[in-house]
Structure 1
Amino acid sequence: MTQSLESPAPVDSDARAADFDRVLSQVAERRAEFEEKRHVPRDMIAEFKRAGLYRAGAPKRFGGDALAPAEFLRLIERISEVDGSAGWVASFGSALVYLAALPLETQAELYADGPDVAFAGGLFPVQPAELVDGTYRVSGRWKFASGCKGADVLGVGIKASGGKAGQQNAGRPLTAVMRPEQVEIVENWDVIGLRGTGSHDLVADGALVPEEWTFVRGGQPTVDEPLYRYPTVPYAAQVLAVVGLGVARAALDQAIASGGRAGFTGAPKPAERATYRIAMGQAEAQLRSARAFFYETTGEVWATVEAGDPATPEQASLLRLASAHLAKNSFEVVRAAYQLSGIPAITDGHPMQRFLRDASVVPQHAFLQEGMYDGAGAVLMGVEPFPGYL
């Protein structure tokens, strides 16, 4: 039985806010557990769903919220202030914008039990797949499937001739959508930062995926709603960059709070030193400036697509630039806060340790590395950017 295509009932905003506050409290209580287990457990994913995070990217025609990007990004920012790994996993509530490129009939089946669907993907390295009689036979191994242990559906990157292969282009693979029972999760997420994201490898051995359950990442959506006119791949970069922002805010607040505490040596309190105050002022300005650019660009592009117009390549590029810039500056702010915190920050139980580890991972993501400045500069200069940038 498919989900009704009628407009969903109005959301009780007070109840949703209470659910979200409960999520923040639970994340604060369980963040050490996430780090120890190296993933966010399914019962926490259920709480994310209850708070609406996994219907945020689902189409309204299927009962979802299709939230404006800035609204969703601010939710992820707040979760990431509490725990970066939880924010990273929750951010994939936006990933359903990818699935809007599936045929409508497939989406109706996907949302048959409701719009609260958790999607995780390990798209690279792209693996060859054979299309026979409208079905792909999928085998291979894919990396970095963040949140895979709590996912309802999983996507992997494939390359094939025939079918939708003509829509494939550099940096935008064909994605095969599968149920968890079709995939083996290889638990090899052994890292320093964002330990709780459970970004393990996925393995498939001859899984059969009907062509109607495949789509081109960033491909033309079949749903005509404003959210699906918003640039898809830049949005995917935004939801990750904002994790770094949340972590940086928490680190800066920690450093500010520590400024009034006396040190071990009897020296003046940090807040009594001009060098400390200057550094804190600079870090605050740096973070707020990058955040303002990020949300200002988000609002401008959303206004365009909400009015019914497509986002321009220049706008899509600015989203990518603002995201990479935010990730870079967030890490720099965390590093400054760590250094300002002095010798206490080197202990394993100090909050700065987790902030530093988590923030360092965000600008390492392929969507957020410094090469994005090259792509943005190319668009500004009117020359062709590197393949896959737009």
Structure 2
Amino acid sequence: MPVIREHGIEAERQGRVPRETLRRLDRAGVFRMAVPERFGGLDLSLERQAEVVGRIAGACPATGWNMTVWLTGALIAGLYPDKAQKEVFDGGSVRVSLGFATTGRLTPVEGGYRLSGRWGYNSGCHAADWDVLGAVLERPDGTEEEFFALVPLTELSIVDDWDVSAGSGTGSATTVAEDVFVPAHRLIGYDASLTGETGERWNAQVPGRGYGAVAFIMSLYASMALGLARGALELFFERLPGRGITYTDWDDQRRHPLVQQQVAAAANRIEAGAALTDRVIALLQERADAGERPTDAEKAQVRGRTAFAGDLAKEAVQLLYSLSGASVLKRSVPIQRYHRDILGFTQHALAHPLPNLEMQGRVLMGLAPGSYIL
């Protein structure tokens, strides 16, 4: 992890995760975590994957963010027919990016479909082997149906338009498909893929792994955000020895009561978020072990609790940043990057606390969640 942390500033400069970071993670087996055992993968539980993602995010927030995407992409790839799974997983180690938005168009042709479209915010696409892309198919009667198309990155082009103030190292550029042929076995229904129910269940799902894509990625997101906050706390402690408070008589920042209170508040926010996330993961594992799906109300609770946990992580980092003095503005001081990244991550449409808390609040008061992205 120290090497990955050292490469964090390089990730920001390059606008993507550096090759050396990818090489070390690959050697450690992290890209095999969500790969089925029958293809040489580790098939780890959500709890184990979340723990690893948190540790990675503590070393490099951008890499931790990408891990949430690549692992979710691999989870969804496991819902395709066996023929597609073999194509994706045969090497045992794989990175699958994910374009949630249905901004592509599908046209039926013999043996499959033609896909065209653009997918912005496609995190980790530069380093991905495959991309799961949302697309719309128009039926002869004029009705439309949404699908996820599974496409090798070699058949897509990437527009390097990722020029941002936060999450720069995630490389969340735009991918483009121009009349790309997608065989029929590389297409699954959008709604079914989010819930983990893909008709015939070609993958003969392993007991205990049917989490559902949205609940899965939200659990990883919360774990990533909390790992990032723990990393910021470690960095704060590393800078403490010998630090005073400029233009005051305080020559040891540790002895100031306000600093003590704020550091405790930051640490408690992290632990509170972790407790919430642990409850979510335990619920999802309980349902998966029983071969059941969480109810819509439970899935809305998952979204609310994980987004709230992510917001607690953000607040913890904000407290630590505010205690770090003007020197934290230097790009060579990592906390400023952790601060910018967590502010950016919590702005994501799927992670933003307000709509997620709205869904949770609705079900707590006996209403429908108000979204099918559960």
- TM-score, normalised on structure 1? 0.86
Whole-Å separation in 1 of the counterparts to 2:343 and 2:143: 37
Query: Any conservation in 2 of the 1:256–1:280 contact (CA below 8 Å)?
Result: no
SS for the counterpart of 1:229 is coil
**Distance between the aligned counterparts of 1:288 and 1:308, measured in 2?**
30
Partner of 2:118: 141
Check conservation: 2:72, 2:213, Cα contact below 8 A: no
Q: Distance in 1 between matches of 2:207 and 2:214?
A: 15
Deviation (angstroms), 1:282: 1.6
Structure 1: distance between partners of 2:143 and 2:42:
32
Residues 1:385 and 2:366 aligned together: no
8 Å CA contact 1:57–1:95 kept in 2: the answer is no
- Cα distance, 1:388 vs. partner? 2.3
Aligned pair in 2 of structure 1 residues 206, 287: CA closer, same or farther (>3 Å)?
same
1:262 pairs with one of 235, 240, 244? 244
2:248 pairs with 1:248: no
Please show how residues 192-341 of structure 1 align to structure 2 within 5 Å: 192-215=165-188, 216=190, 217-218=193-194, 219-221=196-198, 222=201, 223=203, 224-260=205-241, 261-265=243-247, 267-268=249-250, 269-341=252-324
CA–CA separation in structure 1 for the residues paired with 2:107 and 2:218: 30
Does the 8 A contact of 2:97 with 2:130 survive in 1? yes
Aligned equivalents of 2:298 and 2:42: distance in 1? 24
Tell me which amino acid in the other structure corresponds to 1:55. Answer: R
Secondary structure of 1:209's counterpart equals strand
Indicate yes or no: 2:53 matched with 1:71: no
Instruction: State the percentage of identical aligned residues.
Output: 26
Q: Is the 8 A contact 1:54 1:117 kept in 2?
A: yes
CA distance in 1, matches of 2:364, 2:373: 13
Give, as a single letter, the amino acid of the residue that structure 2 aligns with 1:110.
V
Deviations 1:146-174 (A, max 9, x none): 111111112221100359x9995xxxx41
For 2:143 and 2:272, locate their aligned partners in 1 and report how far apart those are by CA, in whole Å: 42
Cα distance, 1:192–1:69 mapped onto 2, change above 3 Å: same
Post-superposition offset of 1:115: 2.0
In structure 2, C-alpha distance between the alignment counterparts of 1:41 and 1:344, rounded to whole Å: 26
Aligned in 2, Cα 1:95/1:383: closer, same or farther, shift over 3 Å?
Answer: same
Q: Which moved more, 1:38-47 or 1:334-343?
A: 38-47
Aligned equivalent of 1:33: 10
Task: Tell me, yes or no, if the aligned pair for 1:240 and 1:362 is still in contact at 8 Å.
Answer: no
Looking at structure 2, the residues matched to 54 and 93 of structure 1 have their Cα atoms a distance apart, in angstroms, of 8
Unaligned runs of 5+ in 1: 1-23
Write the letter of the residue equivalent to 2:13. Answer: E
In the alignment, is residue 93 of structure 1 matched against residue 71 of structure 2?
yes
Q: 1:348 to 1:54 in 2, by over 3 A?
A: closer
Structure 1 position 79, deviation (Å): 0.9
Match of 1:11 in 2: none
* Stretch of structure 1 that moved more, 81-90 or 227-236: 227-236
- 1:364 alignment partner, one of 343, 347, 356: 347
Preserved CA contact (<8 Å) 2:137 2:144 = no
Instruction: Quote the residue 2:149 is aligned against.
Output: 176
- Decide which moves more: 61-70 or 366-375: 61-70
Q: RMSD of aligned C-alpha atoms?
A: 2.2
Matched, 1:56 2:29: no
> Residues 73-92 of structure 1: CA distance to partner in whole angstroms, max 9, x if unpaired?
11111111111011112332
Q: What secondary structure sits across from 1:361 in the alignment?
A: helix
Give secondary structure in 1 for the equivalent of 2:346. helix
What is the deviation of 1:93? Answer: 2.6
Instruction: Give the deviation of 1:266 after TM superposition.
Output: 5.0
Q: Which runs of 5+ in 2 are unaligned?
A: none
Q: Which amino acid aligns with 2:180?
A: A
What is the match of residue 105 of structure 1?
83
SS at match of 1:189: coil
